[in-house]
Amino acid sequence: MSFKENTMLEIKHLSKRYGAKEALNDISFTLPRGQIVGLFGENGAGKTTLMKCILGLMRFQGAITLDDEPITHKIIARLSFATSEHSFFPALNAKEHLSFYAEHFACFNEKRFHALVDFFDLPEDRPIGRCSTGQKNQFEVVLALSQGADYILMDEPFAGNDVFNREDFYKVLLGLLTERETVMLSTHLLEEVQNFVGRALLLHEGKLIDDVDLGEAGDRGENLMGIVRQAYSYRGDRVREALNALEGDE
């Protein structure tokens, strides 16, 4: 499979409704290759829905294209997905997954697969469905990163993993990605990822409220936590107010 230098994932006026509920409202942005992008927002902001629309798992209004082509089964291999909902085969072990993926994905990276399995110290002969929750989530990430995709979407991929595993993985991620790969990472762990993501997309109630180049923000003396607090009008005094109210009930 050949890869164009100007690969671009483009989302145009994307909207999604669940009955009367508006999950996404007129979202537009582009993702060129070679970025690590953080997708942030409170629970219910639309992060998972956005990723599933990009992957073609949901119907939506608007347009999503990769190199100006709609995302169909013909090019879906150029996108991969890691989610705590899991998309592996629970009865198969790591070795059997390797054989299956290598057969079905022309650009599957066996060297990366083995390196990440070793990094996470995952069992190779045990069915993945019999592994711990943390190991299952790690294996989901291994598959997504080894598929050979241009765009790797990760939706809260490290639930059930300790902080040291997560921090080490972010460092490994920076070292293994090539210039043609883009990662979109949805997580609530902002402080952990703020030194690893280069761009932040902020969702609120289904709307894209900010799109921030974190390199430029850093040059202005700003960081991700401060940007998010301002964007969501976070009130640092609300904890004190709640405690004062409770004291008044005593």
Phi, psi of 247 (to 5 degrees): -60, -35
Q: Is the pTM of this model over 0.75?
A: yes
Per-residue pLDDT at 93:
96
According to the model, what pLDDT value does residue 2 have?
41
- What pLDDT does residue 236 have? 52
Indicate left, alpha or beta for 66 from its phi (over 0: left) and psi (-120 to 50: alpha): beta
> Residue 66: enclosing H or E segment and its boundaries?
strand 61-66
Are the C-beta atoms of residues 38 and 12 closer than 8 Å to each other? no
Q: What is the pLDDT along the chain (250 residues), one digit of tens a residue?
A: 344 456 799 999 999 999 989 999 999 999 999 999 999 999 899 999 999 999 999 999 999 999 999 999 899 999 999 987 888 899 999 999 999 999 999 999 999 999 999 999 999 999 999 998 888 988 999 999 999 999 999 998 876 667 667 778 888 888 899 999 999 999 888 888 888 899 999 999 999 999 999 999 999 999 998 898 888 876 555 556 655 666 655 5
**Residue 156 phi, psi (nearest 5):** 45, 60
Structure confidence at residue 3 (pLDDT): 42
Looking at residue 13, its pLDDT comes to 98
The stretches of the chain forming alpha helices (DSSP H) are 47-54, 94-104, 110-120, 133-146, 163-176, 190-193, 214-219, 224-231, 238-249
